[in-house]
Amino acid sequence: MTNWQQFKLKDVADIKLSNVDKKTKANERTIRLCNYTDVYKNSFINADRAIDFMVASCSENQYQKFILREGQVAITKDSEKPDDIGIPTYISEDFNDVVLGYHLALFTPYEDKLSGKFLNYWFQTKFAKRYFENNAGGSGQRCTLVLDVIKSTPLYLPSINIQKQIAKVLSDLDAKIEVNNKINQELEAMAKTLYDYWFVQFDFPFDFAQGKPAANGKPYKSSDGKMVYNEQLKREIPEGWKDGTFETISTIIGGSTPSKAIIENFTSDRHMSWITPKDLSLNKGNKFITRGEWDVTEQGIKRASLKIMPKGTVLLSSRAPIGYLAISREEVTTNQGFKSFVPKKGYSPEFIFYCVKNLIPKIEANSSGSTFKEVSASTLRTISISIPEPEILEEYYKISKPIFKKQDLIELENQKLTELRDWLLPMLMNGQVTVGEAEEELGMVAEEDINT
């Protein structure tokens, strides 16, 4: 940290605590409000992310103080939990109608002393999080950061040019992750539409002259393909299709938890993956999962009678909450909060994933329990589904598998980029790694991507 200088936040930024509430008053200016959850859930705020911000109002004085401008940083300053305060977001463009809301603090860096992007990343360091947790006040169930504590926050800073270089290294990584996320969202929309078009609307492409599915065929139902009423499903399905259950297309397996009192049951080293609903919640937004926080040992597997499920198993969290879904990249086991679907011959994860996803409302409706809702394997075995002809599924797999494969590769790349960013963040922020060394690491990662 040679030539880095220590400052207090008040020396390098203007700091204000917002008092703009969610109310709308007739005599005030109409604005869009950037709320607590908007800051908490977004690493940056731009026009796209502000589209759905709630409409509210504020006084002219509040507007002048809390209108959002490019280069500013906002953080959460109140929460029920200490680790939820000090969560930052970067304001990436100017707004003329978006104002920061209550329970948030707004930082406007002095341009000759502090880079807003650098400050945003600094708030993500363990030092910043620990400082805020240790200095938060409040009473009862609420933790809060008062203005004097925020102003007195100590931080070491390099020159403004070095700050910008450090921020660029980290923001380039985040930008690549964001681009990948958008690509995967588009692929997900494509995959979901394909499934719905074929298996919900029954408009799979069909060659009526040949009487079989065809890439260049007409949409089946829309082109008056023959539909037959199915008594079990209580609706019409294409001729030749049957009714069945999840058990028709998969083997349904529950999980269990080895005793945590016996430390030999678990390991943080790579062994057999053991997935919990918490792992899926942290994996939210991703379709695939490799492993969770903990692996289970051979001893743990035997003592809990865990069943090892193959790659391509569809995992469904069956309680607390119901509805998290993922596809396993490797062999896995799970805790008792899951019912997992191991595909049977002729049925693939690409079909089973959306078949389960589309029926989650029905699965939830058939759940039971007083403390928390849970769905049992026996209940899942009674839920009726339509079973397409094998030829239809074969054509569907030809189209869907490449989409799923691309999503998987993008998720793996993002994991690698996120790990690199999380490693570089503290190292750059405390001067242990120079910008040149960081750029060298990025170059190596880019070269690996080209070669894979």
pLDDT of residue 339: 96
- 387 and 248 Cβ atoms separated by less than 8 Å: yes
233-268 pLDDT, tens digit per residue, is 999 999 999 999 999 999 999 999 999 899 999 988
Residue of higher predicted confidence among 293 and 69: 69
Q: Give the lowest-confidence range in 7-16, 177-186, 409-418, 441-450.
A: 441-450
Instruction: Quick: pLDDT tens for 118-165.
Output: 999 999 999 999 999 999 887 667 889 999 999 999 999 999 999 999
Q: Domains in the chain and their CATH numbers?
A: 5-157 (3.90.220.20), 187-402 (3.90.220.20)
Tokens 């074929």, located at residue: 198
CA-to-CA dists, residue 239 to 71, 96, 230, 412, angstroms: 61, 58, 10, 41
CA 239 to chain centre: 40
pLDDT band at 2 (very low <50, low <70, confident <90, very high): low
Record the tokens describing residue 268, joined without a space.
């943080």
Q: How confident is the model at residue 450 (pLDDT cuts 50, 70, 90)?
A: very low
The pLDDT value recorded for residue 320 is: 79
The average confidence (pLDDT) of the chain is 93
Q: What are residue 338's DSSP bridge partners? A: 317
- Max CA distance (Å), the chain: 79
Measured from the Cβ of residue 121, the count of other Cβ atoms closer than 10 Å reads: 27
pLDDT band, very low/low/confident/very high, at 370 (cuts 50, 70, 90)? confident
Query: 31 vs 57, 60, 210, CA distance in Å?
Result: 5, 11, 60
Which pTM does this prediction carry? 0.88
Residue 285's pLDDT band (boundaries 50, 70, 90)?
confident
- Residue-wise pLDDT for 23-47, tens only, equals 999 899 999 999 999 999 999 999 9
CB of 213 closer than 8 Å to CB of 391: yes
In this structure, are residues 328 and 309 in contact, taking their beta carbons and an 8 Å threshold? yes
Residue type, 356: V
The phi, psi pair for 279, rounded to 5°, reads -60, -40
